[in-house]
Structure 1
Amino acid sequence: MRLLRPRPLDFGPLMETLADRGSPTTVRLSRPLDLAPDAGCVWTIPQLAELVREMSAALAAAKVRPGDRVAIHKRNHWDYALLAAAAARIGAVPALISGVLPPDALAALLARLRPALLLSDRATLAGAADRPAVPTVCLDGAMPGSTALADLRGGAVPAVHRRADDEPLVIMHTSGTTGVPKLVVHSTRSLVRRITGFEARPWPVTALRSSDTTASAVSFAHGRAVSWTISTLWGRPENALLLADDGPAAVRLLRAHPPTIVEAAPAVYQHWQPLAAEPDGPFARGRLFISTFDAVHPPTVRAFLDASDRRFPVWMQAWGQSETGPLSFRFFVRRSLARRDERHPTTRDLGRPVPGWVGLRVVDPATGRRLPRGQVGLLQARVPGLCQGYVGEPERWAAKRDGRWFSTGDIGTLTRTGGVRVLDREVDMMPGASCVELEDVLHERLPEVEEAVVLGAGPGQPALPLLVTRDGLLDPGRWQHAVRDLPPLAEPLLLGWEALPRTGTGKVRRNVLRDRYLADTARYGSGQWT
C-alpha cells in the first residue's frame, strides 16, 4: 500500500487523482446512487471521477460559488461523499446533514448554516412537512419548489479551486443523541492531512491489501464518509462495497462479494448478527471488523469473530468524536471475549491513546481539577486534528475548550497502565456504575435480548432498563437471575425495535427516551458538555 504523500490529497479532485494513478478498485453499491439512479450499481474510479466533474459543473450552473455552503440532506447513501467532493472541487463548503433528523433539528441546523443551496432527493423532500426556504436541487427527478438536477447538467466543467489547508473544507454534524446536533467544521489540515493521513498509514493489521474487498455500512452523512472514502480508495483494494442500509439488497451484495474488511455502525452489526451464525455466511472471509460511532456489546463482537474462517480475525473498536477524530483503539480477538464462569467481558475498555498523537486526561466535572489515574471524571483530549469549531455556536465551542484540551463530554477513567475506560456520556452518568456496561451484562446474560438501554435515574431511584427481545417476551425468573448481583434496576419495559428512536448513525436517542419514561425524574449529569 502506498502512503499518503507528505501533502495529502485535495478532497475535491480526489477521484481524478485516483484515476490518474490507474486505481484498479471496483466500487459496488447496494442500490444505485440517488444522483445517478439509472447508472447501475458497479462503478470504476474513472467513471466516478467523471461523475464528480459533472456534478461540480451542475453546482456551478446553480450559481454556487467558492465559500458558499451547500447543504446535503437526503437518503443515506455514499453519494453524500461524492456530492461533498463536487462541492469542494469548486471551492464551496459541503455540509452533510442526515436525512433522518427530526424536523425541528433540521430547521435549527439550516438556520445556523444559511446555505446557498440544498441538495436532496424526492423521498426526503416528500417527507418534509415544512420545506425550508432554501434554493433546492432534487437529485433524482422533479419536485415542486425545487430544480431538477437534470436541468443543470451538461455545462462546462469548472477548474479545480485550490483552497488553503486551514480554510473550511467540510461541515458535518454530531450524532445528536442528547439533543440538536452540533455542526462541526473541519479543514483540509484537520480532516485530511491529520485524521485521514494518520489512518492511511500502513499500520499492522489495519493496512489495506490489493486483494481486499472492503465493505462500509455507516451513516454517510457523518464525516466518517469523507475520511473513509479518501483512505480506503487511496489504499487501492480490489473491491469497495458501499451499503446504503442493512436490508436484503445489502446482504445480497455481501453474499456475492464476501468482504475481508467490514466497517459498520453497531446497530447494523446487531441486525446482521443472525447472518454471522450461518455456516459459510457472508462474513467467512472477514479478517478485520471495525466498529465506530457507539458502544458495541460483547456477544456481537464474539459472533462476528466466530463467523470468520480465518485463524486470527480481529475486531477493532475505535473511540472518538466528530470534533477530534479517533482517540483510542482496542483490538479484540476470540480469546479476548471468552466467557469465564459468571464474569462478563466488556467492551468499555477502549485501549490506549496513540503515543505522541493523542493526549488524554481526566478532570473533575465540577471543578476542572485534574484527577489521578484510576479516578472517574470527565475525559478531555488533546489532538492534532481538532476541528475549527461549531457553526453558529461559538459560546458552546468556547465552553468545551480548556486551553489546548477539549472536553469530550464522556465520563471515564484512565487506568494505571494508561488505558482508557469510557463509562457513559456525562449527561447520562450514574454514580458508582456505568449504564453502558450494565447493558453489556444484560446482553451477555440474556441472549434473547436484541437491544438493552439502561437509563440512569436520579438520587434514590433505580435505573430503568428498556429491552427489545426477539419475541417480545422475557421470562421473569431469567431476568431476576441475570440482575442478581447488579445495582438496583427497575422492572424492565419491553419495547419493539422500532420503538427505540435512533440517530442517523444508529445510536439510541437516550434524551427522547428519558423525556418519554423519566420526565419527572432528576438526573445526576449536568449536560454542560453535550
Structure 2
Amino acid sequence: MTLLSKPIHLGTLFDDLTARGSTTAVRLSRPLDIAPEAGPELDVPGAAALVRRAAGWFAEAGVRSGDRVAIAKRNHWDYVLLSCAAARLGAVPASLSAHLAPGTLEVLLRRLDPALLVTDTDLLRNARDAGHAPSAHARRTLVVDGAAEGALCLGDVRGGTAPPPRRPHLDAPLAVMHTSGTTGVPKLAVHSTRTIMRRLAGFESHRWPVLGSRRDDTVTSSFSYAHGRALAWTAGVLWLFPEAVSVITSADWAEAGPALRRHRPTTLEAQPATLVRWQRRLDEAGEGLRRVRLFVSTFDAVHPSTVRTFLDASERRTPVWMQGWGQSETGPLTFRFFTRRSLAQRQGVEPATRDLGRPIPGRARLRAVDPRTLRPVPAGTPGLLFCRTDALCLGYVGEEGRWRDKLVGQWWSTGDIGSVDRTGRVRLVDREVDALAEGGCLEIEDVVDERLPQVLECVVLGVADGPPVPVVAVEDGSLEPGVWKEAVSDLPTMAEPVVLTWDELPRTGTGKVRRNALREHLGLPADTRGRGRWT
C-alpha cells in the first residue's frame, strides 16, 4: 500500500492510519454505544476493526453503494466510526443530532430517503411518545443498543461480511451533515471527498506552528459528533500521531470533570455552550487543565470572559486560544489567536471576540456587500458577508433552489452581518436575520456577560416593531431588576428581561440557542428587522 501524505479516504481512514503505524490511544469518557464491551479505551487498529465490523452490519442490512445511511443516536464519537463504515460501502452517511425535535427529524429523514436509519431505543421511544415515527421514512432501521418493534438489532446483522472498500470520485457526495437550525429546520449540507477530506481534514493534517498536534499531545474534544466537524477533526488530528485523543461526549460535569482530570489535555476543543457550563466548575478541575497549551473554539460566538477564565486555568507560560469562524457549508473561514496579554489589552474596549481575525490564507476570501444591492461596501462598513472557498459544500438535500439562491457567481452568502477592513480583518456584528435597529445582538450579549457574572447566558431577540427582548439564563431563574437596569443603562433601549434557567433555553446539538423556538416559547412574533433571505 502506498502511504498517503494526508487523509483522503473516509471509508478506509482507520485502515490507512493503521498502515502508517499509528500508536495513538483513543480515550473515551464512556464506552462506545456500538461496542460497550470494548471499554473506555481503544487503539487505532481496534477502531479500524470496528469500522469493518459495522460495514458488515450495514451490508447485511441491505445497504449498497450510492445509498444514504442516516445516523441519529445519543452523542458519541461512534458517529464517526459509523460514517466511515457507510462510506466504506460506497454509501453516503448522513449524521443527524439526537437533539433534533422529533418533527424536525422526520422532515430531514423524508428529504434523505435513507436505505437505513441507524438509531437507538431512546430516540425511537421519545419520537413515538411525541407522535412521530422516524422508522417510517427509512427502508430499514437498525437499533444499536437493544431491540425495537419493526427494527433490526445488532444480533440480526452480526457476522455480515463487508465487501472490499469502495472509494468515490473526489467530487461525488461523501457525507451529509445538517446545519445548526437556530432559525428553523436545519439544511442538509452535502460534502465531497475533495471538500471535507482534502480541503478541511487535509489542512489540519499539517504540523502548523501552534495549531498542529504534536507527538506528545493529548488532544481532547467535547462537541456534537453528529456535526461535520467531527470527521475533519478526527482525520486531521489522528494523521499527526498525537500520544492520545480524548473524547468527552457530554457537557455534564459529572462526566466531563473526571475525564479532564484523568486524561489531562494539552489541547482542548469544545463548543462554546459547553465551555460556559464548565467555566464555573474549573475550581473542581484540579490539574485537569493545567497542561493545556492550546484552546480551540468553533461552532458559535464565545464571550471574552470565557476565554479569559480558561486561559487563566492553564499553568503554561503562554497558553493560546484559537477562535475559528465558519459554517457547516464552508468549514472554517477565518481564525485568530488570543493570549492573556492580548485580552487584557482589549478589556473595556469593544468585545475582543467579535474580531474574527483574517481569512485563512489561500483557502478563503471574504467581502461585505450591501444586503439589498449586493454591491461591495467601503472597507470597515458593516454589510452582508460573502465568502469564496474551495471547501464549499455541493448543495442542500431536497432544497437545491435554496442553496443556489445563496450563491452569487462564485460568492457564497454566509447570512452574517460584519465588516472587512483594509487589512482583511473581519468583525462580526450579527446574523442578518437577527439584525437590530441599533447596536447588535452579539455585542449586547457580550457586554451583559462581562457586567453580570451571575448571568449564564444572554440572548437578545430582535422584534420588527418594538425594542429587542433580552432573555437571560440564571442558575436559580431570578435576577434583581435594579441590578439589570444598572448594567444596561448605557446600552440601546430594550424591553424588560425575561429570566429563565439554563435548561429552559432550547438548544441545538452544538449548544446554540434555537432562537425561533425561543420566540415561539415566549409568544413573540416571528418577524424581525432582518429579511432572513440568506438564512
- CA offset at residue 214 of structure 1? 0.9
Aligned to 2:361, which of 355, 358, 367?
Answer: 355
- CA offset at residue 95 of structure 1? 0.4
Structure 2 counterpart of 1:124, one-letter code: L
Provide the rounded CA distance (Å) in 2 between the counterparts of 1:415 and 1:341: 21
Structure 2 counterpart of 1:178, one-letter code: T
Other-structure match for 2:107: 108
Moved more, 147-156 or 395-404: 147-156
Count of aligned residue pairs for this structure pair: 526
Moved more, 79-88 or 408-417: 408-417
1:166 paired to 2:171: yes
Provide the rounded CA distance (Å) in 1 between the counterparts of 2:124 and 2:527: 38
Q: Secondary structure at the match of 1:104?
A: helix
Superposed CA deviations along residues 475-517 of structure 1, whole A, max 9, x for unmatched, are 3332222112111122111101111000001000011122333
Structure 2 counterpart of 1:523, one-letter code: T
Q: Assess, with a 3 A threshold, how the Cα gap between structure 1 residues 341 and 36 changes in structure 2: closer, same or farther.
A: closer
Other-structure match for 1:271: 277
1:302 paired to 2:308: yes
Given that 1:93 and 1:169 are in contact with CA atoms closer than 8 Å, whether structure 2 keeps it comes out as yes
Written as runs of structure 1 = structure 2, the 5 A alignment for 1:111-510 is 111-129=110-128, 130-132=132-134, 133=136, 134=138, 135-247=140-252, 248-278=254-284, 280-338=286-344, 342-343=348-349, 345-459=351-465, 461-510=466-515
Structure 2 counterpart of 1:180, one-letter code: V
Given that 1:298 and 1:346 are in contact with CA atoms closer than 8 Å, whether structure 2 keeps it comes out as yes
Given that 2:29 and 2:248 are in contact with CA atoms closer than 8 Å, whether structure 1 keeps it comes out as yes
Other-structure match for 2:70: 71
Superposed CA deviations along residues 333-364 of structure 1, whole A, max 9, x for unmatched, are 11222277854533111000023221101111
Provide the rounded CA distance (Å) in 2 between the counterparts of 1:92 and 1:32: 26
Aligned to 1:516, which of 514, 521, 535?
Answer: 521
Give the TM-score of the pair, scaled to structure 1. Answer: 0.96
Q: Secondary structure at the match of 2:367?
A: strand
Percent of matched pairs sharing the same residue: 55
Given that 1:298 and 1:345 are in contact with CA atoms closer than 8 Å, whether structure 2 keeps it comes out as yes
Given that 1:338 and 1:345 are in contact with CA atoms closer than 8 Å, whether structure 2 keeps it comes out as no
- CA offset at residue 521 of structure 1? 7.1
Q: Secondary structure at the match of 2:384?
A: strand
- CA offset at residue 414 of structure 1? 0.8
Which ranges in structure 1 are unaligned for 5 or more consecutive residues?
none
Superposed CA deviations along residues 246-269 of structure 1, whole A, max 9, x for unmatched, are 221222111111101111010100
Give the TM-score of the pair, scaled to structure 2. Answer: 0.95
Superposed CA deviations along residues 272-296 of structure 1, whole A, max 9, x for unmatched, are 1123245744111111111111111
- CA offset at residue 100 of structure 1? 1.1
Given that 2:355 and 2:428 are in contact with CA atoms closer than 8 Å, whether structure 1 keeps it comes out as yes
Q: Secondary structure at the match of 1:74?
A: coil
Given that 1:277 and 1:303 are in contact with CA atoms closer than 8 Å, whether structure 2 keeps it comes out as no
Structure 2 counterpart of 1:63, one-letter code: G
Structure 1 counterpart of 2:407, one-letter code: R
Structure 2 counterpart of 1:243, one-letter code: I
Q: Secondary structure at the match of 1:32?
A: coil
Q: Assess, with a 3 A threshold, how the Cα gap between structure 1 residues 111 and 279 changes in structure 2: closer, same or farther.
A: closer
Other-structure match for 2:80: 81
Superposed CA deviations along residues 19-57 of structure 1, whole A, max 9, x for unmatched, are 122211110111111111222111011111111111111
- CA offset at residue 427 of structure 1? 0.7
Provide the rounded CA distance (Å) in 2 between the counterparts of 1:33 and 1:74: 12
Provide the rounded CA distance (Å) in 1 between the counterparts of 2:39 and 2:48: 16
- CA offset at residue 102 of structure 1? 0.8
Q: Assess, with a 3 A threshold, how the Cα gap between structure 1 residues 65 and 522 changes in structure 2: closer, same or farther.
A: closer
Q: Assess, with a 3 A threshold, how the Cα gap between structure 1 residues 479 and 98 changes in structure 2: closer, same or farther.
A: same
Given that 1:457 and 1:518 are in contact with CA atoms closer than 8 Å, whether structure 2 keeps it comes out as no
Q: Secondary structure at the match of 1:94?
A: strand
Given that 2:470 and 2:497 are in contact with CA atoms closer than 8 Å, whether structure 1 keeps it comes out as yes
Given that 2:24 and 2:241 are in contact with CA atoms closer than 8 Å, whether structure 1 keeps it comes out as yes
C-alpha RMSD over aligned residues: 1.6
Q: Assess, with a 3 A threshold, how the Cα gap between structure 1 residues 340 and 196 changes in structure 2: closer, same or farther.
A: closer
Structure 2 counterpart of 1:360, one-letter code: L
Given that 2:351 and 2:443 are in contact with CA atoms closer than 8 Å, whether structure 1 keeps it comes out as no
Q: Secondary structure at the match of 2:355?
A: coil
Q: Assess, with a 3 A threshold, how the Cα gap between structure 1 residues 521 and 504 changes in structure 2: closer, same or farther.
A: closer
Q: Secondary structure at the match of 1:350?
A: strand
Which ranges in structure 2 are unaligned for 5 or more consecutive residues?
none
